[in-house]
Amino acid sequence: MLSRLLGPQRRYLWFWVFTGPFVIGLAVFAYIPLLWSIGLSFFDAHNTVTPTHFVGFANYGSMLSDTAFTSSLATFAVFSLFIVPATYALSLALALMVNRLRFARAFFRSVFFLPTACSYVVASMIWKLSVFNGVRFGLANTVLGWFGADPAAWLSTTRPPWYWVVIVTVRLWLQAGFYLVLFLAGLQRIPGTLYEAAAVDGARPGWQVFRHITFPQLRATSVAVLLLLVINAFQAFDEFYNLLSTARGYPPYARPPLVYLYYVALGQGQDLGLGSAGAVILALIIAVVTVVQARWFGLGRKEA
């Protein structure tokens, strides 16, 4: 009996010895809290994780009728519509350039990759305190000063919304290098024979080769990059919070859903039911967008 349970060569035992800790970790740190949170979203759970007052979909109703929450959803939709193509184009362009280098390729690859190792919090602080601070000796304002322009209060001006410049540049700087490395790997997988064949067929180097050889060959990489970018954009929190929050709260502009939930429900005011409802709505949106996108790009289909 025991030997049957253990399996031939005790394989079952070893299977659980190796996978068990990770399964337990995943269950305890991911699945149980996730399911618990979904459960909480149907209760009036102020300052408790074991609520008793069932309220049905009331939390969802009040979250969806909360204009601050819906406008935060719009904020991150706009943000991802902008940041996803921008990062994609920038990292692809950088990858093409680095790939053409004859020497010092490893050096430039590392230089562009380095920001990825920097924490979002640290980068936000540098952007906020030295690059884009609002006084005349900030880096950006010094540059403006050379051209005779007045200093701008980058993070406090809503008309025009200069704060987007700060938010977008910090994220581009932080993540372009990572996707550059993914694209480089993709570029190096394209067989040289394809380019030779194209040259024989009379394709002009440059745009024509890129359009008909390089870009289609990068499809698998592109799909992966886009998926990762979209999910990252939806989860935006770190740089927004650290750039725009003050000791007194967060301004009503450029406020992504996670930041809003943090302030109204999941931080000091522990309205865990409402917060969980907001989190579930957000998770559903991410899931739907990801699935639609994956279908659109045909992720998982066999490459022809």
Partner 1 sequence: MSEPQHSTLPMLSRRRLLGLSGGLALTGALAAACGSNTGRGGGSSGGGGPALSQWYHQYGEAGTEQAVQRYAAAYRQARVTVQWRPGDYDQQTAAALLTDAGPDVFEVNGPSIDQIQGGQVADLTEQIKNARADFNPAVLAPKTYQGRVYGIPQVIDMQLLYYRRSLLDRAGVRPPQTLDELVDAARRLTTKDTKGLFLGNDGGAGVLGQGGLPLFAAGLQLVTDDGRTGFDDPAAAQTLGKLHTLYASGSLLLGAPADWSDPSAFTQGLTAMQWSGLWALPQISKALGDDFGVLPFPRDGSAGRPAVPVGAYASSVSARGKHIDAAKAYAKWLWVDRTEYQGDFALSYGFHIPARISLAKKAAKLRSGPAADAVRFSTDHGHALPLLWTPKSQVALEDAVSRIIKDGADPAAQVKAAVATANAELQRVRRKTG
d(CA 294, CA 304): 17
Q: Which of residues 149-168 bind partner 1 (CB under 8 A)?
A: 151-159
User: Which residue is it, tokens 């990801």?
Assistant: 290
Q: Which residues pair with 46 in a beta bridge?
A: 271
Q: Does 41 help bind partner 1 (rule: CB under 8 A)?
A: no
| Helix segments in the chain, DSSP class H | 2-6, 11-26, 32-40, 58-64, 67-100, 105-113, 120-126, 139-146, 163-189, 192-200, 207-209, 215-217, 219-234, 238-244, 257-261, 272-297
Give CA–CA dist 99/189, Å, rounded. Answer: 12
Structure tokens at 219: 């499809």
Q: Work out how close the CB of 113 gets to partner 1 at its nearest, in angstroms, rounded to a whole number.
A: 21
> Residues 11-30 vs partner 1: string with x where CB under 8 A?
-----------------xxx
The distance of closest approach from Cβ of residue 133 to partner 1 in the complex, given in angstroms and rounded to an integer, is 5
Residue 48 sits at φ, ψ, to 5 deg, of: -155, 150
122 with 170: CB under 8 angstroms? no
Q: Residue 160 or residue 300: which is nearer to partner 1 going by CB?
A: 160
Q: Minimum Å distance from CB 60 to partner 1?
A: 16
> H/E element holding 284?
helix 272-297
- The pattern of x and - marking residues 265 through 284 that bind partner 1 according to CB under 8 A reads xxxxxxxx--xx--x-----
In the complex, minimum distance from the CB of residue 82 to partner 1, in angstroms, rounded to a whole number: 19
Instruction: State the nearest-atom distance from the C-beta of 171 to partner 1, in Å.
Output: 13
Which one of 214, 262, 280, 282 is in contact with partner 1 (CB under 8 A)? 262
Closest CB to partner 1 among residues 35, 97: 35
Separation CA 131–CA 141 (nearest Å): 8
Q: Is 226 left (phi over 0), alpha (psi -120 to 50) or beta?
A: alpha
For partner 1, the closer of residues 136 and 211 by Cβ is 136
Contacts of 48 (CB under 8 A, 6+ apart): 272
Which window, 3-11, 15-23, 125-133, 216-224, contacts partner 1 (CB under 8 A)? 125-133
Q: Which is nearer to partner 1, 91 or 141 (CB)?
A: 141
Residues in contact with partner 1, total (CB under 8 A)?
67
Q: Say if residue 160 is preceded by a cis peptide, omega within 30 of 0.
A: yes
For residue 37, state whether it binds partner 1 (rule: CB under 8 A). yes
Nearer to partner 1, 186 or 278 (CB): 278
Of these, 25, 205, 252, 298, which contacts partner 1 (CB under 8 A)?
A: 252
The two three-digit tokens of residue 46, written as one number: 């102020």
Give the residue with the Cβ less far from partner 1, 178 or 241. Answer: 241
Of the two residues 17 and 139, which places its CB atom closer to partner 1 in the complex?
139
- CB nearer to partner 1: give 37 or 91: 37
- The residues that touch partner 1, with contacts defined as CB under 8 A, are 28-30, 32-34, 36-37, 46-50, 67-68, 119-121, 125, 129-130, 132-136, 138, 151-159, 235-238, 241-242, 245-249, 251-253, 258, 260-272, 275-276, 279
